[in-house]
Amino acid sequence: MKNVFKLFGLIAILAIALIGCGGGDTTTTETTVPADTPRTLTFGTDCKVTIKSNDQFTAAEWTALCDKAVGAIERGYNSDYMPAVNKPNFENKFRNYNISIVLLKTATYDCEVKEGNYTTMYLKISALDTVDLRPAVWALCDEEAYHQP
């Protein structure tokens, strides 16, 4: 009889522990500042970008934003504007210069390359689906500041 009570007690403790841990739910809505996220691009050979932010996101939001940032880069690469110049510019910068993209919830510009920092583009999150990164990448290549309203 004592063993039966011990068994029921153990079952009750396990049930309470599972309920207290969210029933084993592994999804989270907790927001944090994400770790820098390296991504490989589909064009060129060894073309990469590191995506960063100081804003807070859930893990799912951050994954989706990184996907959108990569999509914006690849959209710029595939631009019909002067492809004989455009594609080599993208391949050179994203292969050889450790380019970073900083995603911002609030920003003055949709896209910005700051004076003196020609390895980083700053992108407003709300513009990721429409921003044209071709001029920004060309500015990186020419070591010129640039902003897109």
Question: Lowest-confidence range among 11-20, 49-58, 140-149?
Answer: 11-20
Phi-psi region of 82 (alpha: psi -120 to 50; beta: other; left: phi over 0): left
27-36 confidence digits (pLDDT tens): 668 999 999 9
Three-state SS for 78? Answer: coil
User: Across all residues in the chain, what is the average pLDDT?
Assistant: 87
Q: What is the mean pLDDT of residues 1-6?
A: 50
Whether 83 contacts 108, CB under 8 Å: no
Pairing assessment for the beta strands 48-52 and 100-104 based on DSSP bridges? parallel
Q: Could you give all domains of the chain from N- to C-terminal order, each with its CATH number?
A: 37-148 (3.30.2410)
pTM for the full predicted model: 0.80
Contact 102, 136 (CB under 8 A): no
Helix-then-strand count for the chain, H and E: 4, 6
